[in-house]
Amino acid sequence: MTDEFTTQIYYEDDVDESYLEDTTVAVLGYGSQGHAHALNMKESGVDVLVGLREDSSSREAAEAEGLEVGTPAEVAAKAQLISVLVPDTIQAAVYDEIEPHLEDGDTLQFAHGLNIHYNQIQPPAHVDVTMVAPKSPGHLVRRNYENGEGTPGLLAVYQDTTGEATQRALAYAKAIGCARAGVLETTFQEEVETDLFGEQVVLCGGVTSLVKQGYETLVDAGYSPEAAYFECMNELKLIVDLMYEGGLMEMWNSVSDTAEYGGLTRGDRVVDEHARENMEEILEEIQNGDFAREWILENQAGRPGYTQIRQAEQDHEIEEVGERLRSLFSWSEEATEDDAAEVPADD
Ligand code: NAD
Ligand code: MG
């Protein structure tokens, strides 16, 4: 533990793995996170079962790794800790199947707090409810573990019936490798609201809109789509890598003085006070539950709006230009194959 940060951070020495010693863990789902948690825990000596539908295409992959597979209800009945790693939009339905098997003192665990925070799952008072959320896609959680490294993670306790919820969640975090890198304490509310905000405003929504608007501005002004693609999309990775490695100054120090001066004087004109007001509005919709309600209804209606907006994104000219240009690079093909090989097929 360290007091240099405002948040409590746990490392391997803070964890007592005996909290999982007599525990059977059921991992529901064998996708991005599910396969990584199940395999890492198995190799850490934890007794793991995997819960999948009878007709799941992931069954074979899990069994090929020597994991015992059953339906969610079957494995939940045998386990004392149930880790819910099916997609967020079907968790409530899968929860209905396992609820009858939640016994006194069991743990219901998540890797994202959405369904608990917005009351789509309402667990009984006699179980612990915790979260261990690796801050990275599952294939990296797996790869890091195999390389003897860790993936930073978040830990939160929503309901502590046993008085041991934190220790058990920490033991789980250690078993999947997160404690090697550091486990940050948070709450379900903070994890959900900051996660939604980050993906909507900066990471997924903000960045793609910035790229498209920049691209369109250049193409509309008569520049070639290829030049626009390289400037507004391709080079983004180099910039982000520098910020990831060494922060904003590492990036500014690595680009030319012209780029630094132009960027520092123009950036805030692009993402200006209007953008800031929009960010605050979006945060408000997350906090008051409007976004969650919209998304739940969208799913109940069969995703009509989502399907449409997704198609429009796919049809954007930058996608076609990018596909042609990327095929000129041999590395891009290798990278895709490499990544695809490590994530089991979804079903
Ligand atoms: P995913 O879509 O990769 O995998 C879900 C898996 O669930 C499928 O592969 C399948 O094996 C299984 N599944 C699907 N329908 C099922 C059903 N009806 N019954 C039983 N099993 C079924 O999901 P994911 O991205 O690993 O997300 C799992 C959880 O982890 C979510 O709560 C998500 O928010 C969280 N999370 C994901 C990431 C990430 O990078 N992917 C990171 C942190 C947290
Ligand atoms: Mg996220």
The model's pLDDT over 245-278, given as tens digits with 9 standing for 90+, comes to 999 999 999 999 999 999 999 999 999 999 999 9
Confidence of residue 4 (pLDDT cuts 50, 70, 90): confident
Cβ < 6 A, ligand 1 pocket: 28-34, 52-53, 56, 58, 72, 85-88, 90, 94, 111-112, 133-134, 137-138, 346-347
Task: Looking at the CA of 34, name the nearest ligand.
Answer: 1
> How much distance in Å is there from the Cα of 32 to the middle of ligand 1?
6
Residue 12 has pLDDT above 70, yes or no: yes
> Among the atoms of ligand 1, which is closest to the Cα of residue 33?
26
Average pLDDT estimate for 330-345: 50
Task: Looking at the CA of 111, name the nearest ligand.
Answer: 1
Confidence of residue 341 (pLDDT cuts 50, 70, 90): very low
Q: Please list, in sequence order, all residues whose beta carbon lies within 8 angstroms of the beta carbon of residue 339, skipping any fewer than 6 positions away.
A: 139
Task: Looking at the CA of 38, name the nearest ligand.
Answer: 1
What pLDDT, on a 0 to 100 scale, did the predictor assign at position 164? 98
CA angle 162, 19, 176 (to 5 degrees): 115
The model's pLDDT over 306-332, given as tens digits with 9 standing for 90+, comes to 999 999 999 999 999 999 999 987 665
Distance CA 92, CA 86 (A): 10
> Among the atoms of ligand 1, which is closest to the Cα of residue 93?
18
Query: 165-175 and 32-43 are packed helices; what angle lies between their axes, rounded to 10 degrees?
Result: 90
Across the beta sheet with 24-28, the strand order is 9-10, 183-185, 153-159, 128-134, 107-110, 81-84, 24-28, 47-51, 68-70
What pLDDT, on a 0 to 100 scale, did the predictor assign at position 328? 87
112 catalytic per annotation: yes
Distance CA 215, CA 96 (A): 46
What pLDDT, on a 0 to 100 scale, did the predictor assign at position 5? 81
| Mean per-residue pLDDT of the chain | 94
The model's pLDDT over 171-219, given as tens digits with 9 standing for 90+, comes to 999 999 999 999 999 999 999 999 999 999 999 999 999 999 999 999 9
> How much distance in Å is there from the Cα of 72 to the middle of ligand 1?
13
Confidence of residue 336 (pLDDT cuts 50, 70, 90): low
Residue closest to 33 by CA, chosen among 135, 126, 139, 174: 139
> How much distance in Å is there from the Cα of 84 to the middle of ligand 1?
8
- Residues, Cβ < 5 Å to ion ligand 2: 195
Phi and psi based region of residue 44 (left: phi greater than 0; alpha: psi -120 to 50; beta: remaining): alpha
Residue 337 has pLDDT above 90, yes or no: no
The model's pLDDT over 118-133, given as tens digits with 9 standing for 90+, comes to 999 999 999 999 999 9
> Among the atoms of ligand 1, which is closest to the Cα of residue 35?
26
Is the pTM value of this prediction over 0.75? yes
What pLDDT, on a 0 to 100 scale, did the predictor assign at position 335? 52
Distance CA 130, CA 80 (A): 13
Phi and psi based region of residue 253 (left: phi greater than 0; alpha: psi -120 to 50; beta: remaining): alpha
Q: CA-CA distances (angstroms) from residue 344 to 28, 30, 32, 61?
A: 15, 8, 7, 7
